[in-house]
Structure 1
Amino acid sequence: MARARVRGIYATALTARLLDAGHEVVDASPPIRRRFDAAFGTDPPDVRIETSGDRQGVGAHGDPDALGAVRDLLTDAGRDALAWADPAPPGAVLDGEVTETLGGGAVVDLRVGGEGGESGEGEEAASAPATAAEGYLPYSAVDARVETGDAVRVQVREYAAPWTDRRPELAGELRVGGDLVALEPGSGTRVDVRDDEAARELSGMLDLLDLDPPDGWRAVWRPPAVDADTEALSAGLDAAVDAAEELRAAVASGDGSESGLGVLDDRGRLRDAPVAAPNAGVWVWFGRESRSGLDDARRTATATMPGHHRVKAGSADASAGVDLAEALCEPAPDAEFPFAVVTDAFGPREGDALRIDHGKPDGRLITLGEATVTGVDPDGTVTVEREMSGGGTYDGLGVDRVAGDVAETSLKEGRWWYPTTYRGRDGSVRGTYVNVCTPVEVFPDAARYVDLHVDVVKRPDGTVERVDDDELDESVAAGTVPEPLAEKARRVASALENAL
């Protein structure tokens, strides 16, 4: 059994699934406490589950054994839930090389070693080796001048989902964080609480209990410490001290040096594997089918409109709109997803710009460009057009790409495929490419899905061909596409091949 702390738009659904599976949920938010007839403890969590910044999925980080216990619970939400190990989880100490210096910091090519990406469910999950990942080191977080080519040893401060354009944030000094208190190099005690009166009371309590950090460390007490009892305060500091000393010992024992983190003066000290990895992590992308499964889980605890998580994932405004709608009326659980209502309120609308966010099974996301919306149908179909630049050929079609060609794409909410037809300036059809993917979701600013490799093309002469089956097979073997999802992709491709 694992103790988990859950935050974000998927919190109610995941709390329901965690409790049903026999896990413990701790530090629950007030809405969660209201919705569940359960006891929620205050012990430190083994795993923290948080919604990604773009609301497309969740990141889970913490004790490796506990993480393994909840990982399958996250990916079981639906066939289009895909998971990847986090190669740079928070707290990890990694070596790397500065590859680029920017205005406020440096890009670091991290040596993560081990297993860097995985996807799948249960025993079917495999992994693909990853020997590097990029991170961002702010100049203010390291006590030395940083230049391209420098060897560095850094700690991961903030994680980043693989499908975003953010890099994990790094620092050149150690820090160990608990829910009540964090330790960082220095001395003394600091209370990081905005309420001045509460901060003074906590400071007085700490002085009374003589809760001082050991030499070489500064204790930074966090807001939850205000409501903690004396036993919890003492236990929190003891746990932080143990973790900090263990981490410091791991860093020092790596090569016998005690010079710590930052710019290394000897490249021979660089290690390919993590210097210290107190936490493990996994990122889970939820597709449309998975969000529907999470709707069902949430519905066991509270009123939930059809498409609850699908709408909330679209934008902050849409998320607030869902809360208002559910507060005002009792949603019918068997109603259809209100696509027309959602697009009328939040977009996209005809004339809007819409990105096509093309997810890859290895966790990357590629934007295929920005298109203009030419039509929005209440049945969930959004038609977009892009004017193409010249040069090269159209993938799979073997036809030259000519400047001024127009790509017309039909994106239908919930469909496992979408077609793009390429036309010349004179309107002649230059070919059609049908992409097989996880169910399409048309959000206000982007259409999103994960490409499943296998596709079907129709050439100008009417010839139909199914392509890239080998890439799908390779992804299954590598563990980035679970077999049930691959089988669905093959069935869809066969149906398209026969229909075209």
Structure 2
Amino acid sequence: MVLAKVRVRGIYATALSHLFLKHGYRIVQPSEVIAGRLNIGFDNSPPDVTVKDAEDDSVLVIGKPSEAVSAFELLSRSLKFVFRKTSRVEVNSVYLGRVEKVEQGACIVDVGDFKGVLRDCRGLFVNDKIIVGVPKPWWKEGGLVELTWEFRVLGDYVSLIHGKPSIAFSEYIRDRELKNRLSAIALSKLLGSRLGVKFRSSARFADPEDIETEIEALLGEYKKLMEAAKSVETPAKLRTGEFIGLISLTSIAKKILDHERRSVTPTVPGHHELKNLGFSDELDLVENLVGKGCSLNLVGKGLREWVIRKISETKRFRILHYSPVKGVRELTPGFLKIFKLVEGKACIILERVFTSKGVYDGLGVEKLPGDRDLLIIREGSYVVSHNYFRNGNWLGSYINVNTPPELAPGIVKYHDLVVDVIVKPGEGPVLMDLDQLSILKTKEVASEHLYVLAKKVAELIVRKPEAYVCENYWKSEECLALK
């Protein structure tokens, strides 16, 4: 049985398309490269689900609720070591709500499934009925969801817009002649309706007759919606919108994607990590050599040696800390103090010098200008160790449990697994935030695989904290030999 139609875009497109294909999904609107690699024909049908790159090291899944949820769950199961979140509301869903409160020109509206805020009340009063749309995702658990008068009726090729009589186009529709033809269709069907229209990206591939037919169908649905709003009890959901979810790709998940991609095209180890870090040209060069007969192992080894050499020659590193709770945070940059290969793995110590006052997280120790952090990062390790010093004296260590760092010239990034271990002079190790990670697992933000992994690593640290702590500022190189 063929499942939903999925469109995949971005740097993970080959791996994700292959993953969907082998689970029975139909890949639509593929690029020429993807179609060739997967040996599939060109199918420009509109998708049920779109999967594409997003900010904060994530992929976004959006589409028709049932189909998009299924695709989202498949990716979560297959990639295993991921964080994820879903919008509390369907984007572009339409509700009949009741005004609950009016304050400072805004309305608090009860729509049944949740409560929202309409910023411009336009003379509404308490208990008035109003049709509203949900214009964007809402990731928070609580709070008031943003609402709009300008609700949309979604189709595959177009969306009709109530309250905004204009013509708009997807950013992917750029051809001027095509825009003119589509505009003419919209004007012929919507003139006098006081409705606007936005042409979705799939309109590029549609026959004019199909677009005309869809606009007529959506007009009929719009009229039914407006009639239903007169008779149904408030509050009520009048029209379904789109599911939207984000899956945060850890370095472990990217290795799973490497394996998926390798089954259809030459792929060196660390492909998706390096691609995400901006090394597309280098990857294209070496993987093209494999396509011309060179050994994958040989070119992969050569690329790795080049990356390692560049890391050893780099002085300043950005440090990106990805948290499932707080998002991405860029830490005070570090300067390479020590580089060493230990059993073939790159190990570095970055020195960070603080310029402002504060308090060290977890330690409860005052932070002063001039304090230093020796940040120990080992390739392949599930730990990043912060070791704080003042005038060469050890203040304590904050041992962060995380996915293996992604390391490249000038940049280090990792996904925080929430759990940490604190070690202070003269005191035993203290495990932090395991309860918070447990809550994230219960809420299905953190996968079971990540929870088990983080708990196991934290327990190892607590049993042998000296293996992860660096107490001697002046002999810090010895810390890299610790296991």
Q: Which TM-score bucket, shorter chain as reference?
A: 0.7 to 0.9
Give 1:433 shift.
1.8
Partner of 1:352: 316
Partner of 1:493: 458
Q: Does 1:473 align with 2:473?
A: no
The sequence identity of aligned pairs, in percent, is 26
* CA distance in 1 between partners of 2:150 and 2:40 (Å): 40
Partner of 1:28: 30
Q: 1:301 aligns with which of 264, 287, 297?
A: 264
Match of 2:442, SS state, is: helix
Give 1:430 shift.
1.2
Partner of 1:452: 417
Give 1:290 shift.
0.6
Name the structure where helix makes up a greater proportion of residues: 2
- Compare 287-296 and 37-46 and name the one that shifted more: 37-46
Match of 1:59, SS state, is: strand
How is 1:172-321 mapped onto 2 (pairs within 5 angstroms)? 173-185=150-162, 194-199=174-179, 211-212=189-190, 215-221=193-199, 224-225=202-203, 227-241=205-219, 244-245=222-223, 277-315=240-278, 318-321=279-282
- Compare 238-247 and 76-85 and name the one that shifted more: 238-247
* CA distance in 2 between partners of 1:248 and 1:311 (Å): 51
Q: In structure 2, what residue type is equivalent to 1:218?
A: G
Partner of 2:449: 484
CA contact (8 A) 1:88 1:112 kept: no
* CA distance in 2 between partners of 1:304 and 1:451 (Å): 27
Quickly say closer, same or farther: Cα 1:53–1:399, change in 2 above 3 A. closer
* CA distance in 1 between partners of 2:286 and 2:136 (Å): 34
Q: Gapped runs of 5+ residues in structure 2? A: 124-129, 467-483
CA contact (8 A) 2:165 2:194 kept: yes
Q: In structure 1, what residue type is equivalent to 2:371?
A: D
Q: Does 1:430 align with 2:392?
A: no
How is 1:3-82 mapped onto 2 (pairs within 5 angstroms)? 3-53=5-55, 56-82=57-83
Give 1:44 shift.
2.3
* CA distance in 2 between partners of 1:52 and 1:451 (Å): 18
* CA distance in 1 between partners of 2:32 and 2:276 (Å): 22
Give 1:422 shift.
0.7
Quickly say closer, same or farther: Cα 1:24–1:387, change in 2 above 3 A. same
How is 1:107-146 mapped onto 2 (pairs within 5 angstroms)? none
CA contact (8 A) 2:153 2:159 kept: yes
Quickly say closer, same or farther: Cα 1:431–1:481, change in 2 above 3 A. same
CA contact (8 A) 1:182 1:221 kept: yes
Quickly say closer, same or farther: Cα 1:153–1:52, change in 2 above 3 A. farther
CA contact (8 A) 1:13 1:297 kept: yes
Give 1:202 shift.
5.6
RCO higher in structure (CA 8 A, sep ≥6): 1
Q: Gapped runs of 5+ residues in structure 1? A: 102-106, 115-130, 146-151, 163-167, 257-270
Give 1:189 shift.
6.7
CA contact (8 A) 2:185 2:212 kept: no
Give 1:406 shift.
0.9
TM-score normalised by the chain length of structure 2: 0.74
* Total equivalences in the alignment: 438
Q: In structure 1, what residue type is equivalent to 2:61?
A: A
Q: Which protein is bigger by CA-based radius of gyration? A: 2
TM-score normalised by the chain length of structure 1: 0.72
Give 1:84 shift.
0.8
Partner of 1:125: none
Aligned CA RMSD, in angstroms, stands at: 4.4
Partner of 1:149: none
Q: Does 1:409 align with 2:404?
A: no
Q: 2:351 aligns with which of 353, 378, 385?
A: 385
- Compare 374-383 and 305-314 and name the one that shifted more: 374-383
CA contact (8 A) 1:27 1:41 kept: yes
* CA distance in 1 between partners of 2:302 and 2:74 (Å): 25
Give 1:255 shift.
7.9
Match of 1:218, SS state, is: strand
How is 1:93-108 mapped onto 2 (pairs within 5 angstroms)? none
Quickly say closer, same or farther: Cα 1:245–1:281, change in 2 above 3 A. farther
CA contact (8 A) 1:356 1:371 kept: no
Give 1:420 shift.
0.8
Give 1:286 shift.
0.6
- Compare 283-292 and 364-373 and name the one that shifted more: 364-373
Quickly say closer, same or farther: Cα 1:85–1:461, change in 2 above 3 A. same
CA contact (8 A) 2:135 2:151 kept: no
Give 1:485 shift.
1.9
